[in-house]
Structure formats: C-alpha cells, structure tokens
Amino acid sequence: MAGIDESKPFLPVRIAILTVSDTRTLENDTSGATLVARLEGAGHVLADRAIVKDDVAAIRARLERWIADPEVDVVISTGGTGVTGRDVTPEAFQGLYEKEIPGFGEVFRFLSYPKIGTSTIQSRATAGVVRGTYLFALPGSTGACKDGWDGILVWQLDSRYQPCNFVEMMPRLMEHMAPADH
C-alpha cells in the first residue's frame, strides 16, 4: 500500500527553483514562492532560486550550473511548458536528459484534468535525470505548481514514501558513469 513509512528516516533534499518568464521578478513570482514555501514546509532545503527568460540557451545554462553543483539534488521549474512560440522549457530540459521520466507529465495531467478539464493537454510538464540531478518542469500557474508538488513531488521526494521514491534512488543515479565523469 502506498504511503509514508514512519519507521524510516526523513532525508531532506536540496532543491533549486527556476522560474522561466520574460515578465516575472522575485517580487511577483507567486509560483516560485509557492514551490519554495511547500518544499521548505515539507522539510527540504532551498538550494537556490533564479528567474530566467524564455530562452533555451538561458534555461540550459542555468540548469547546467545546478547540475554541476553537488549542493543541488533536484531542480523544479515553473513556466514555459505551454504550446506558444515562447514556451521552450521542455525543449531546454529534454535536450539535457540522460533519462526521461515520462510518467511525471502523465500523472501531472491526470491530476490536472479534474480541475481544468481537457485544457490539461496544453501542458507539456516533463521530468528527467541528468548526471545525478532530477529535473522537473511544471507549468507557470500557481495552481499547477500546487498540483505538481502536492500530488506528486511531496511524495516522491520523501525518503519514507513506499513502495518507492526518487530519494532512495539518488545514490544509484550515476552508476553508469565512470568516476572521472562525476
């Protein structure tokens, strides 16, 4: 049965929050602030927070810095996952993935459907792993960030969640890499 195994220890995860937007600032970024409040409320550590423009190169540059930083275990982004010309977050993320986690986007849309109906098909939420760092891309609305965190990430980033979770796999994410590649 799925749930929290209270006999296991909680292991805090170091999470960076990335907002992808041409218009938001730290002062008016309610989606990023929502994710920060939720991750800290769950007992995790905010490793860093940034805002970048809707530009593949800018998004990838920020992701690459965090992927290379041993103090960042997970990156969660908000924004840029729609279908307009400026929405390029999935392209930026997918160009870096070593392994995609397709179930993340599928479950995200499943959770969104009761709230927004068929409009959920406009979301290109995505996730993957790059050099031992998990990347999760959520839509830019505060509601979508709440859905993604409350419905998926709060559980999968909790080391006590059973039958399995992303945290327990962290030590094995780079098994395929030679020690010099780490």
Query: Which CA distances in Å does 114 have to 2, 21, 108, 146?
Result: 22, 27, 11, 14
For the chain, which residues score pLDDT lower than 70? 178-182
Q: How far is Cα of residue 34 from the mean position of the Cα atoms in its chain?
A: 13
pLDDT of residue 7: 96
pLDDT of residue 175: 84
Beta bridge partners of 14: 45
pLDDT of residue 179: 63
pLDDT of residue 182: 54
pLDDT of residue 1: 80
pLDDT of residue 53: 97
pLDDT of residue 178: 58
**Which pair of structure tokens corresponds to residue 7?**
């006999």
pLDDT of residue 160: 98
pLDDT of residue 35: 98
Site of tokens 């940034």: 50
pLDDT of residue 181: 57
The answer to whether 94 touches 126, Cβ cutoff 8 Å, is yes
| pTM metric for this prediction | 0.95
- Kindly give, in sequence order, each residue whose CB lies less than 8 Å from that of residue 4, ignoring residues fewer than 6 positions away: 158, 160, 161, 162
